[in-house]
Amino acid sequence: MAAARLRTLLVLGRVSNLPTVWSNCLAAWLLAGGGEGWRLALLLASGSCLYLGGMFLNDACDAEFDRRQRQERPIPSGLISRGAVWACGVAGLVAGLLLAALLGVWPLGCALALTAAIVAYDVWHKRNAFALGLVAVCRFLLYALAGLATAGTVSHRVLAAAAGVAVYVLGISLLARHESGTSRPPRWPLLLLAVPMVPALCYTSTGAWGPTVLAIVLFTAWLAPALRSMWTPAPQTGWVVSRLLAGLVLADWLQVAALAQSWPCAAAYAALFGLTLLLQRRVPAT
């Protein structure tokens, strides 16, 4: 019983994507100059709580849709009540804000903006197609939150990286909206997936091209099979989206490869990437 309850919570929180939140925060932290370890720990905890709270609220808001289209989800299948999911979602968001408050006034302000974007997406994304852009906004604000928590300001480099990663997430979101339907997903959003390479290349200094090129090669090598499957007669959109979500860790590493040329940094991103893949084998990414 306890194991089943735990799995229900893990599915609701979509914890297989949680390492991508950590990779976002770590990238912005490094780009902002790094700092005290306790602040990074608080940042990771705050971002995790906000993410998990948003995921729980997503299922609570989508309960009626899931009863019609995705009856395997925890609420329509009777594994947990909608009220309990609401309570967990609100608790996660509140915890994330309280942790952000410990980082300072500006990080708290950014966390409040991030929370507003999370709630707006959860409420509107099934009724308004433009709400899909809010997922990208959330990732952008997470980068900004990390920059503020680290340096008290958001540099141009952090903003550029945040924009590149946000556009990548927008591309995933445009594909994911076709995951539950029967229509063939459009191919043009695939162009957005290359955008994270732009800020990485623009901010790579002379003499540091090696790590950036290596990161681009690995990023492209991971995405290529997913992109190729989009041209098959029956593309597996869910598999493609899961693969692209794991690639978000590589998109983050791409932003810092030239800046943090060290084995510990590469090892940290390799561990986050591996953890994402491992969790995706146990818990659905979408």
Over the stretch 230-240, which tens digit does the pLDDT of each residue have?
777 777 888 88
pLDDT band at 242 (very low <50, low <70, confident <90, very high): very high
Q: What is the average pLDDT score of the chain?
A: 91
Could you tell me where the DSSP H helices lie in the chain?
2-13, 18-31, 37-61, 63-69, 82-101, 105-124, 133-151, 156-176, 197-202, 209-229, 237-256, 263-282
CB atoms within 10 A of CB 48: 21
**pLDDT average, residue stretch 205-234:** 87
**pLDDT average, residue stretch 5-22:** 95
Cβ atoms 16, 273 nearer than 8 A: no
Q: Which domains does the chain have, with CATH numbers?
A: 2-282 (1.10.357.140)
CB atoms within 10 A of CB 64: 12
192's tokens: 């957005």
Query: What pLDDT is stored for residue 132 in this prediction?
Result: 83
55's tokens: 């995921």
Q: Which of 42-46, 111-115, 179-183, 269-273 has the lowest mean pLDDT?
A: 179-183
The predicted-structure confidence for 87-145, as pLDDT tens digits, reads as follows 999 999 999 999 999 999 999 999 999 999 999 999 998 777 778 899 999 999 999 99
Query: What pLDDT is stored for residue 186 in this prediction?
Result: 77
173's tokens: 């979101």
| Lookup result for tokens 């009777």 | 78
Q: Which of 80-84, 219-223, 281-285 has the lowest mean pLDDT?
A: 281-285
Cβ atoms 46, 111 nearer than 8 A: yes
Q: Which of 110-119, 145-154, 221-230, 258-267 has the lowest mean pLDDT?
A: 258-267
- In angstroms, rounded to a whole number, what is the distance separating the alpha carbons of residues 20 and 22? 5
